[in-house]
Amino acid sequence: MKFHKLLVIGLISPLFLFSQELKWNSELNFFFDNNEFAKSPLAIDQTMAGVTLTQEIGWKFDDKHYIVGGVDAMRSLGADKLVNDIHLLAYYQLKDENTLLKVGSFHRHDLLDDYSDFFFQDSIKYYRHTMEGMYFRKGNENQFVKLWLDWTGLQSATERETFFIGASGYKKFGKLFFADFQSYMFHYSITRPNPRGLTVSDYLLGQLSGGVNYSNRSGINKLLVSVGLLSGFERDRVDMNNYGTPTGGVARVEFDYRGFGTENTLYYGQPRMVLYYRHANNLYWGNPFLRAESYMQNKVYWNFINNDHIKGQLAARAHFSDGKVYFEQMFTLSAHINNYHPKKVKREPTFWERVFPRSGRASDGIEM
């Protein structure tokens, strides 16, 4: 009993040690994804449906530093269990206008939104909500660089050690043109001890592209056209001289007008996931249709609600592979409330602003 009292005191005592600001966040995500892939030898035919509730509470100190804790719980629709998966959230965050750093266990939502499903298939977004490691982003919407580490498997007598190391970037040139890249390395190690004689495998994937991205205030939220190169390195260290370097071209066309839109992606090149017969989805987290020489997907969607607190989308997607067409229907909705919204804070003018006043109103400082 004394131990529990000491634990409670230890948890709440920071509230009284120095000036800080209490922050909180509540988020709900619902997904329904029906894959009609029964006749495909490449992808799994399944229906994914569930709801996730995320609760966070934290303390902000020294203007841009946070300590946050919480829980992320997921329930699959129709499951026998009350909760199918639950994860602890505990991380440090540094955030200002052009920097975001997270260290610990944190929600992956929106952090890797520049990566396509060539890197992470939809089931990763639905069922693996957290990253455990670190994430660093420097820049803004016109140019940025991201570096991240996600530890996905703790080595034990039954579990292999697994982790991602990733990097991506984006640069806008003028009002229309851009260049970007996404990449990661997945390390698929062995158990310890290793009685079955398992070997280490490595999977590297990178995409470099460039194109045009246009939007306006008349309803066109996005008009994007890009071409690029998708290349990788795949190896099982059971044979160091036996490895694959599949490469192919990628083209994207995306258009969104007042919430109605389409996303189209084409891959043409060498078949990927050359070690799939040996490791399957344990090694490969991306779209399994890339195992074919050519693949195209078309998505048509309607963002029926999109505001600061609620986002809802109804979509249909067609997959063209091996001369066949496979269909998918999706409904997703996310809602969140928090007290992280920016607040305008009055700022006293500097000495030079008093001596050389600018025309118009001085800009306010922004507190996140």
213-241 pLDDT, tens digit per residue, is 999 999 999 999 999 999 999 999 988 87
| Contact (CB, 8 A) for 35 and 318 | no
Say yes or no to pLDDT of 3 above 70: no
Average pLDDT over all residues of the chain: 89
Calculate what percentage of the chain has a pLDDT beyond 70: 87
My answer on whether omega of the bond before 193 falls inside 30° of 0, hence cis, is yes
Confirm whether 129 is domain-assigned: yes
Residue 207 sits in a domain of what CATH number? 2.40.160
pLDDT tens profile 315-337: 999 999 988 999 999 999 999 99
Confirm whether 222 is domain-assigned: yes
pLDDT of residue 2: 60
pLDDT of residue 351: 45
Confirm whether 143 is domain-assigned: yes
Average pLDDT over residues 327-348: 78
Residue count of the chain: 368
């909705």: which residue's tokens? 333
Confirm whether 210 is domain-assigned: yes
Residue 350: give the domain boundaries.
24-367
pLDDT tens profile 108-130: 988 999 999 999 999 999 999 89
pLDDT band, very low/low/confident/very high, at 352 (cuts 50, 70, 90): very low
Say yes or no to pLDDT of 8 above 60: no
pLDDT of residue 341: 58
Tokens of 34: 């029906």
Confirm whether 11 is domain-assigned: no
Confirm whether 152 is domain-assigned: yes
pLDDT of residue 34: 96
Q: Which of 99, 88, 89, 26 is nearest to 65 (CA)?
A: 99
Distance separating alpha carbons of residues 204 and 284, to the nearest angstrom: 10
Confirm whether 170 is domain-assigned: yes
pLDDT tens profile 189-209: 999 999 888 999 999 999 999
Confirm whether 16 is domain-assigned: no
Domain count of the fold of the chain: 1
pLDDT tens profile 41-72: 999 899 999 999 999 999 999 889 999 999 99
Say yes or no to pLDDT of 137 above 80: yes
| Contact (CB, 8 A) for 63 and 367 | yes
| Contact (CB, 8 A) for 169 and 159 | no
Its pTM stands at 0.86
pLDDT tens profile 141-161: 999 999 999 999 999 999 999
Tokens of 366: 């922004």
Say yes or no to pLDDT of 253 above 60: yes
Please tell me the least confidently modeled range out of 90-94, 161-165, 257-261, 345-349.
345-349
Say yes or no to pLDDT of 17 above 80: no
Q: Could you give the dihedral angle defined by the CA atoms of residues 98, 104, 107 and 113, in that order, rounded to the nearest 10 degrees?
A: 50
Q: Which of 149, 213, 146, 220 is nearest to 179 (CA)?
A: 213
Average pLDDT over residues 286-314: 96
pLDDT band, very low/low/confident/very high, at 356 (cuts 50, 70, 90): very low
pLDDT band, very low/low/confident/very high, at 242 (cuts 50, 70, 90): confident
pLDDT band, very low/low/confident/very high, at 38 (cuts 50, 70, 90): confident
Say yes or no to pLDDT of 354 above 90: no
pLDDT of residue 14: 55
| Contact (CB, 8 A) for 273 and 293 | no
